[in-house]
Each structure stands twice: as structure tokens, then as C-alpha cells.
Structure 1
Amino acid sequence: MEGTMCSCRQLLLEVYDKMNCDDFRILTFLAKDRVNRKRRKENENILDFFDLLERKAIIKCGPEEIDLWFLKQAFLLIGRNDLVSTLVRVGRGSCKQPEEGLFVNIRRKLLYQVGEETGQEELQNLKAYLSSKVGVGKRTLDLIQDVWDCLDVLEERLSDSEMFPLLKTVYAGDKNLSGLLDDFIKGIAIVGATGGQTDKAPVQEVGEHVQAQTHALGTQVEDRTGSEEATFDPTPSGGSTMTADGALSGFSATTLPSRLGAYDKGKNAGICIIFNNEIFANTNTHPTRNGTNKDRDLLEYSFKLFGFDVRVYNNTTCQEISYILGEIQQIDHKDNGALVVCTLSHGNLNVVSGACGQDLLINSMTSLFRADNCPSLAGKPKFFIFQACQGKDTQDVWHQTNAPVMAESDTNLFPNSPMAEVMTEVPHLHQLNLAPAEADFLIAHSTMPGYVSFRNDKGSFFVQSLVKHLKAHSPREDVISILVEVNRDVSQTIGQTSGGQIAAQIPEPKVRLTKKFYLFPVETEV
């Protein structure tokens, strides 16, 4: 145990060496609910602050127990994945549920989001409101150096019922942030799902029946099948056939359209990671995901067909997912054509759930493979597939096309559930493609932000449809065109809640590719 404790202390020293002043300032802000303002001002040294967190049992680094969950979550939130990777080296794989209070709650995360969205113009507006609306004097205003100081003063002077409406007024021009603030003001525990409803019953998938996972405050919901059968048929549709070695007959790479150019398929297809979470630590908040193993097996079969080195991980915690992806990041991908990461789990807006029951930022997964973080994958397609809910609302339909089917969902949001507080920021689509390091990503979500994604005991309609169309149309069509086919397929499947409400689902691909991306069946048996 002494060796483990020393290792823990050493890692905290490594983290200290890598942190900058901004990281420290934000960390103290995120810990504010547990450490009062006066004590934070007195502890300007990062190591002293770590000691203070340990004395208050916010983190533990002793011989009997090591618990760095708070720091890991905070560093994930601020995008310091390198610090998370450092901390993961201690206690990796534990699925123990940490104390709820040790996590950054939804209120603190929302204020952090406000801080992150604040530029110089917004900061001046905030200070003007502090002067005119809150009555803060010039001496105090002169001491405000950044937005975090501003938020400190607001929290000291105003109640939440006063502060959040004021913030909404200041940020009225920011549609995403204004929606977040409005939801919080309304008491909706879905950060980012603007106007989301709170007590939706589970949707049932078309033509498929499962025993509903009920909960005292509502059940979960997931995907649907399309008008075509969603289960995987090894024979491609449209008359295409497979040759004995697994290659599609009648297609050739030399005949592909090239107006935009195509990514090089590489000496090797690449690595495909599949995270398949079926069973969770707390089945009350995260019911068992029946049917997910069908999705896992089809994805594994399909990407092996396309020549990928497929690695499957079942029931992985957030720590394990971060560690595994960190290991993949360190691999030399120079001979690989692409990277594929499939995550099948419960989820919410911008997060997926680990088997431990906690949430992991999707951005923390994808950003590991930015061009500046993983140079050997620069200029190569990174294909992320997420079969998970992005909220708990159900999509409405304007007409009914098919008979509705029973299903359950992969959302983890139950009103008043502790898990409902593990939330993250809203996506900013206008920021995509702004930096070259962010290029060459294709992120395929099974549903739109704010909404549930459906699944039943035969698997999810999104994954089933995706596998079917990839196999039927590659390499005649590029992956983006195939995802549009999947959108059409899934959108034609109509779900129905136990109360008879009709609901629909449409997937959402996020495209940052700069060329056409094709998948090629290999010429060897799988």
C-alpha cells in the first residue's frame, strides 16, 4: 500500500508540473462548492490546494484508499486529457461509485460553461451589470481580473433565482448558452436539451418487443428499425453478391469518383475499437442494455470484413475507456488508413456512460486523435460511432409511416437522479472545422442532441442499419453517402410510447472530413 500511495503522490507532482495558472484558476472555481472562497484565495500554490482537497476528503491519496475522481472529472471538463491520462495510472479499472457530492454538479458545470463562453465584450457587459444592477462599487470592480472573479462576485451577492436570469439577459445573443440557462431556470436537469420534457415514457421499436425497463419516474428509450428489416443479412441488398473471399463483386477502387479526392486506404485498414457496455454498476439509473451484444457482434464482423484490426472491450469504466484510447493514441498509425471507434452505451448530451455509472465527455475521446495530439493519424479519417442517447426527449413525427414498435433507450437521465447531474457543454456546430487539427473526423451519432436513441433485444436500429448499408454499398459509395442512407432508413421507423404517443428518431452524422472516405472489403476470409 505504501508503494501505491507514493505512486499517487508522484502522479500529483506530475500533474502539478503540467498545470498552468489558468488550469489552477478553473480547478479552484470547479471546487468552489466544497472549498470556500477565503480558503481558495489563501492557497495560491497548486500543491497546497491538492493538500486542501485531500484534507476535505474531496480526493484521497492515502494507504487505505486512493480516489482521484474529482480531479479526473475536472480535467476532462477543461480538456486536459493529458492530465487525465496521468491520473488514470493509479487505480485503473475500479468500478466503485464515488460519493455523489465529490463530483462537479450541474450548476457548477453551467457556470463553467458561462465562463468558457465569455470574451472581453461579455466580460465588460458583466461588469456593467454588476455596477448597474447589483450595485457593486468601483473598488470591487477594479479587483475583477477575469470572468471567474465576476462569477465569484455574482455568487456572493445574488441568489440563484436572481443570478441565472441576469446571466440569461447578458448572454441573450448566444442561443446555445441562453437555452442552457433557460433550462436551468426552469428546473430542467438536462443541460443543453433546450425545452426538453422531463417525464417521457420509453419508446417501443417497430416490430420488436422487449420487456420495458421501468423506473419510478419513467423508463428509458432507444432506436427503431427502418421500413427495411434492420437485422443484419450477410447477403447485400440490391442484387450485389459476396465472392468467396469476402470481396464485393462488380466494384473496383479504380472506378471510384474522385472530384473531391479520396483518402488513401493505407497499407492496413487500421484499428477498430468497440466499447460495448451492457451491464452497469447501478441498474436503477443505468438499466442493462439488452440487445447490445448483437450490435457488438455485427460491428466486429463488419469491420473485420473491411480489414480492420478489431479490438472489443466489454463493460468498460470511464477510466478504462480513457486508458485504452490513450494507449491507441500512442501507437504509430503510419501504415493505417483510418481509425474507427464504436461506443455502445447509455449516454446524454455530449457524454457516454462507463460501466461504472459515471459519464465521459465525448470530446475527451475524440480530441486524443486530433492531428496535434496524434500526428501519425493526421490527414487520415477518424470514424467515431456512438449508439447512445443525447438527451431524454423524444422526437415528434409529422405523419406515421409504419406500425410502431416497442423499444427501450440508452439515456441515463431520470429526474432527480444523481446521475442527472453529470452533464456537459452544448455542442457548438459553428466551431467545427475552424482548426486544421480538428479536421478528418466523422462522428456518427445514433440520434440528435437532446433526444433519446432506441434499441431492443435484436440490437439498435441505428447500428443494424449502419452495418447493413456499409456492407451493401461499400466501396461503391463513400461512407457519408451511406450514412445518408442510414438516416433515411432509421427515420422511416416510427416508435410508440407505452402511453400511445408516436415518436421518431433520426441519426446525426457530424462531418469534418476533407476527402471522400471509402471502406474496402478485404480479399481474405474473415
Structure 2
Amino acid sequence: MDFQKLLLDVGKALSKDEVKALSFLCTDILNRNPTCVESAGDLFSRLGDKDHLSAERPYLLTELLIIIQRTRLIRDLGLSDRASETRSLISPYRTLLYNLSEEINDAELKDVKFLLNNYLPRRKLDENVSTLELFLEMEHMELISDNNLNLLETIFQSVCPMLNVKISQFKALQGKRQKNNLFANLTCKNKDGEPSRHRRHGWIYSVSSCFLDLDANVFHGGDDCVALSHQLSGLNTETSPCASLDGHCKCRAALGIYPMTAAKRGICLIVNNYNFNSDSHQKREGTILDEECLDKVFAWLGFVVEIKRDCKSEEMLSVLRELGSRNHSLMDCLVCCILSHGKEGCVFGVDGNHVPIKELTKPFNGLNCTSLADKPKLFFIQACQGTIEQKAVNICTDGPARSDDSIPSDADFLLGMATVPSFVSFRDIKKGTWYIQSLCQNLVQMVPMGSDLVSILTKVNADVSQMTKSVGVRKQMPQPAFSLRKKVVFPIPEAPPPSLPH
């Protein structure tokens, strides 16, 4: 009865258009025309009859509400904790069509219908026919399908070219799935002749284990980087068919791009520690400006921004673990920004206790957060990594030093550090930190150019280096370390970029 009451409450909260959207998303599950669905209650009953929705299995409801961006309704009804890490029931193709429909305005829809005059009956192009209904008719006439979107691309090229970016990203995702299926069907034998436990993601596990064995200096640049290629070339081919770069498999696929097709890009968590209880750490004046800029930029990029302020060390860990326990299956990636005092390999809570950076990234590795597997996890750390510094007017630093390895030991991570080990990072008490301000400015300038994230961070390195020289202090050099396997390219937002301080 409680679950039925919950479904009733959801139905009352949804508009007619939202019910139609949910019905459209469930087309493949119900195996029938969604126009037959009369109400939210009717839809939920049909899903229940097919054992897709029940008190024991409410996951589909949460997934549907996330897709149509009714996240507040999820929170209000206490559904957020019900999310599952099981495979999504809604196909990426169906989600793509819904997301495309949300981006088409009335004028553009008229143009689309005009271009379809030679393909569809005129009554199917009436003014009252919605975008989703139009897509359904195109499917019915076999004009589009999950592996044939050519006509849609041709039409969008004339009406709204930006939408073809979403289709291209969807195609990239489909290609990735096909490759994964190919790897899944390969039998990898271990030394005892038994199939490998890591068959599906064998090469990912091999590269990850290689990272565990590497000295941290490999990621710090210089001649030691040569060690990385030696480690990779020595991977045992018995672990994975593609483990050895020069092995018999000879995988030479071009560097791909992580798919970015979800309605929401992902969660962007900002942990901003300003007011420290410890006598050994001063207030981090200027950090509020960093928080505001990060909030504006990542919201512009399509992220749902969450902000936590003045966290003790245990609170920081708790916040990250809770975020890692969520279902990210309908998200493209994760961003986490830590603004605090720090020392090498660690950041401080406001209680003065340190937290190893590896403990902050651990909740999101492939074993602890399966819904983020194969997706980029991006961490930006504004904190000192040592004590070496020189005087500067109106400049504060973010903390003292101790050696520790901070590189995440799993695939698909990027760790953007404000400075290299043993050095301080600098914070202007009026303008914010050099690193975060440069990061935000370059994201705003370079994302619309189609630049990938590593290229953007390279520009950040150059800018911060020039800034430090110009005010006469010891050079600060940011340090990106990563185990990314593809390029991170954010889709170009339709909204104008946010205004940032200069």
C-alpha cells in the first residue's frame, strides 16, 4: 500500500507532457505504442504487470525521473536511496531521442516537419504533433533506428546543427559498447588454464595494476616517464588479450572520446574549507570567489553542483563515500573540487587533521562505484603540496609538507593538482587562487573551441606559470596526473558562458 501511495503521489506531481515523456521512454519495455497509455497510473500499472516496477524493484521509477530531470521530486519522496547500480532499463537510444526532443523549440519543430514532407503523411505532421510523436512515426516508417540516424542528422544539419553533436556522441558510445562485447566474448586464460575473472575489463585491470607498481615520479614528468612505457609493455598477455602493447593482439585503436550524451553531465561536488579550527591553519581568504566561479562554470557545462563547506576530515570522507554510493548510471562523469589547506599527498579538514588524497578518490574506483566504471572521474585539488615559497604581497599559502603518493590506482581518473610536490600553491585574498581562477577562465574560453580537458589543463599550466613570474614569486606549476584512456571533451553548452572576474 505504501508503494502504491508513492506511485500515486508521483503521478499527481507529473504534468501531462511528463507522463507522455515517461511513456515514450518505456516504449521498448512495454513493447507497444506509448500513445495507448492514458495516465501515470496506467503506465505504472503496465510496468508492474511486466515485473519492471514494484516495492522491491523501484529502480526504474528513479531512473525515469532522473532522465526527465525531476530530481527534486526524487528527493522529496525519498527515492534517492532506492537507486540501483544494476544495468539501466531505458536504452541509450531512447534517452537520446528524448534529450533531442527537449532541445527542439516550436519554430525548429516546424522546420523539421517541413523537411519531412516527402517522408511522412501530412496528418502525421500536423501542428499538434509533438517532437516525441514525430520520432515515433519516423521509427514506425523505419526512417530512424538505434543504428540508423542518418536522416535525422541531415535534417538537424539544416535546422539545428548543434544537436548532431549529441548524435555523434551517441554513436561513439554505441561503438564502445560493441568493442566491449567483443572483448567480453574473448576467453582469456590464466596460468592454470582457467578463464580470467577479469575477462570483460581485463585490459583495464592490467593497466590499473601497472599504476600500482609505478613510482609516483612517473606521473611528475621528466625522464622517469619512460618507465611507464616499459611497465605497460611488460604486462602479461595471459591476463588480457590486449595487455601487451607489442603482443600478438596488436591493439592500435585510435584515441577515442568519452561519451557525453546524458541529460545531466554528472555531479560536481565542491568541498570548500575556509574557517579552520586549528591554530596552525589560517582562514582561507579568497576561497569563496573560487567556489562561486566553479559553481558557475560547471553548472554551465551541465553538471549538478553540490557544495559542502568547512568539513572536518571525517566529514570530507563521509561526503565522498556517500557520493560514491549513489547511482551514476545516467551520468557521463564525475567532478570533485577540493579547496583547502594541504601537504604532499593530503588535504586538511577544518579540524586540522589530514586526509590522504587516495582516500578521497577510493570511493569512486571500479570496485566501489560500478556505475562510474569506464567514465571519467575528475578531481581538482586546490591545496599546497609542500612549504617551499617566496614572499609576495597580499598572497596567502595553503599549507606544510610530507611525502605521500596521491595518484589514484584505477583507470579513468584525472587528478588536477594546483602545484607539484614540495611546493606551495598561492591564493590571492581578493581574487581567489591562481589555479582555480585560471582553470575556470580556460574552461569558459576553450570548451566552445572543442578542446579536450588535458589540452585545457596544459593551457592552465602555462597561464599559472606566467602569473607567478609576473609577481616575482617562485614559480608555481600545476600538475595534472591521470589514468584516462580517452579524451574528455565537454559538449558545447547552448547557453552563453558565465561572466567571471578578471
Please tell me the TM-score bracket, short chain as reference.
0.3 to 0.5
* TM-score normalised according to structure 1 size: 0.46
Per residue, is there more helix in 1 or in 2?
2
Q: Whose RCO is larger (CA < 8 A, sep 6+)? A: 1
